[in-house]
Structure 1
Amino acid sequence: MSKKLILLLLILPLVSAFSQEQSLKAQLISTQKIEADTFVGFDGMENLYYIKNNIFFKKHKEELWQYKNLSLGKITKVEIQNPMKIVLFYENFNTIVTLDNQLSETQKINFSENNTPILAVATGIASQNRLWIYNSLSQQIGLFDYLKNTYQSITPSFQGNLKYYSSDFNTFQWIDDKLNWYSCDVFGKVSTLGKVTDFDQIQVIANQVLVFSKDGKLHLQDLSKNSIYTIENVEKSFKNFYYKDQILSIFTNQEIINYKITIP
């Protein structure tokens, strides 16, 4: 037997073991009954946010607040990154509503009334009194100053549709319909982060790390390590999930189940 063949036989089992999907065990923490259609998430003050009958709710123990504006149609997206300035996006009416921590309306912005033509399909809160906007008319990402009521595109036009997006104060991230993952900073610099696995639902949770579901199973993908982990010991039947501060919350029709997850 040649030395090359012997070396190949030694390497193959290692390659096979490396390519196998790894597992990540979740630890059950608590459960909480809830009547909702969609669970939005929670903040650092243990407030829960959810949608029921197209009404937005905030709950803290026995206290409950709500915001209802049925004239704007379905709530498309909720941004709770800043609990003092919550952003509701009503895509069908090209409108954003901002709320304070009591869910009182503080501002309503109809992008159709702006001097610059805007048809928003993605929104999020950015730094310095601005909102992230993906304008489908120009196929560009821009920043909207909600105090000055001005809009500025910061990227060139790009092809493809947004399959998923998320944002924080400094970056806007999106995955296109070809599963390419990109990031844009407030200066308009666009970075390619890699290609993700196909998913049904997904959430970016850290730099190049995301949690996604596919065919009823939950996984964690770390592009920096080229690794995918199957999350075990979690509820198999769920409507959606939310991850924050090492807590994975799984929402079923009747309850929220919280698990502790440690990213490898």
Structure 2
Amino acid sequence: MRKLVYLFFALSLSVSAQEQIQMQAKDSTHLKAKAIFGVDTFGTLYYATDDNTFNKKTKDTTITYTNFQLGEITTANAFNPLKINLFYHDFNTVVILDNRLAEVFKIDFNTTQPYKNVSFISTGFDNTLWIFNQDLQQLELYDYKSNTIRLKTVPIQSDILDLKSDYNNCYMLTEKYLYVYSYFGSLIAKYPNDGYESLAFSKAHLALKKKDKLYLLSKNTDEIKPILHPNLLISQFLVTNETLYIYHDEILRQYQLKPE
């Protein structure tokens, strides 16, 4: 009987280990940044420094954009490198930059009609942004060229923690749930929030952070699996295709994900 118990325990550990996502260390880079917003497939880094300068750093060059009038950059999204958006929450304003970091569009939600109190933004398709309207407590797909709302969701009943998107889907993390929307605004998935605090997203994977633990939700699956990684402090994390980046103490570490 005792042998059967030991066998069952060993099998349970084996199954648990198989459910974890493995990863392998690839590289590390020293980088002094206030916030890192993205790394593309070519290794281009998008980040902010302590003086609130936005940087685009390739292997050969670094170009910058600074807007002292708007202060601190809250979030930035370089999913579309031709339409990089910077969100300045304190001024309720978004700036759109081209691939040379020249300003091509500016949206001041304080002056739009009707007024919008925006707490989160992310890139949409065409000339749109996903925005969370704090006053109405709903997610909206906003066309900034025509100043119109193309679609909106039903009001959300819990606080928003994070928002990420690409051309096809929008992922919204709240205190209670993780919502996944199509670009038509339809709710296609909903997961209970088991203590997740923030998220990162690429074409293939959604990564979630809970304290100093990371989890992965791969496309075309419904299972959120833990990522087996070294016991590291995580100031920020990013995911690009099959590569996971962890940033802490001025070191950007790069890992190869090995999902089943």
TM-score (norm 2): 0.85
- In structure 1, the residue matched to 2:40 is 43
Helix, strand or coil: the match of 1:113? coil
Which whole-Å deviations, capped at 9, do the CAs of 1:157-193 have from their partners, x for residues lacking one?
Answer: 2311112221112322212112x11122232312333
Q: Which amino acid aligns with 2:124?
A: A
Q: Which amino acid aligns with 1:33?
A: H
Question: Take 1:75 and 1:114, find their aligned partners in 2: how far apart are those partners?
Answer: 20
Helix, strand or coil: the match of 2:90? helix
What is the CA RMSD across the aligned residues, in angstroms? 2.9
Does the Cα contact within 8 Å between 2:131 and 2:142 map onto a contact in 1?
yes
Gaps of 5+ in 2: none
Judging changes above 3 Å, is the alpha-carbon distance between structure 1 residues 199 and 227 closer, same or farther for their aligned structure 2 residues? Answer: closer
- In structure 2, the residue matched to 1:5 is none
- In structure 2, the residue matched to 1:34 is 31
Q: Which has the larger radius of gyration?
A: 1
2:253 to 228, 253, 257: 257
Question: Take 1:19 and 1:160, find their aligned partners in 2: how far apart are those partners?
Answer: 34
Helix, strand or coil: the match of 1:257? strand
Question: Take 1:202 and 1:147, find their aligned partners in 2: how far apart are those partners?
Answer: 28
2:92 to 82, 91, 94: 94
User: What is the Cα deviation at residue 15 of structure 1?
Assistant: 8.7
Does the Cα contact within 8 Å between 1:201 and 1:240 map onto a contact in 2?
no
Does the Cα contact within 8 Å between 1:131 and 1:143 map onto a contact in 2?
yes
Judging changes above 3 Å, is the alpha-carbon distance between structure 1 residues 218 and 181 closer, same or farther for their aligned structure 2 residues? Answer: closer
- In structure 1, the residue matched to 2:115 is 117
The reply to whether residue 248 of structure 1 matches residue 212 of structure 2 is no
User: What is the Cα deviation at residue 17 of structure 1?
Assistant: 4.4
Residue identity (%): 27
The reply to whether residue 202 of structure 1 matches residue 196 of structure 2 is no
Question: Take 1:157 and 1:237, find their aligned partners in 2: how far apart are those partners?
Answer: 35
Range with greater deviation from structure 2 (103-112 or 197-206): 197-206
Question: Take 1:10 and 1:255, find their aligned partners in 2: how far apart are those partners?
Answer: 42
- In structure 2, the residue matched to 1:74 is 72
Judging changes above 3 Å, is the alpha-carbon distance between structure 1 residues 34 and 250 closer, same or farther for their aligned structure 2 residues? Answer: same
- In structure 2, the residue matched to 1:4 is none
Gaps of 5+ in 1: 1-8
Alignment of 1:1-264 (within 5 A): 16-17=12-13, 20=16, 22-53=19-50, 54-178=52-176, 180-205=177-202, 210-221=206-217, 224=221, 226=223, 228-232=225-229, 234=230, 236-264=232-260
Q: Which amino acid aligns with 2:65?
A: Y
Task: Tell me the number of residue pairs that the alignment of Structure 1 and Structure 2 aligns.
Answer: 255
User: What is the Cα deviation at residue 258 of structure 1?
Assistant: 1.1
Which whole-Å deviations, capped at 9, do the CAs of 1:84-131 have from their partners, x for residues lacking one?
Answer: 110001111111000111111111110111112211112122112111
Which whole-Å deviations, capped at 9, do the CAs of 1:4-56 have from their partners, x for residues lacking one?
Answer: xxxxx899759944874644332221222212121222113321111111211
Does the Cα contact within 8 Å between 1:220 and 1:231 map onto a contact in 2?
no
Q: Which amino acid aligns with 1:136?
A: Q
Judging changes above 3 Å, is the alpha-carbon distance between structure 1 residues 202 and 41 closer, same or farther for their aligned structure 2 residues? Answer: same
User: What is the Cα deviation at residue 150 of structure 1?
Assistant: 2.3
Q: Which amino acid aligns with 1:62?
A: D
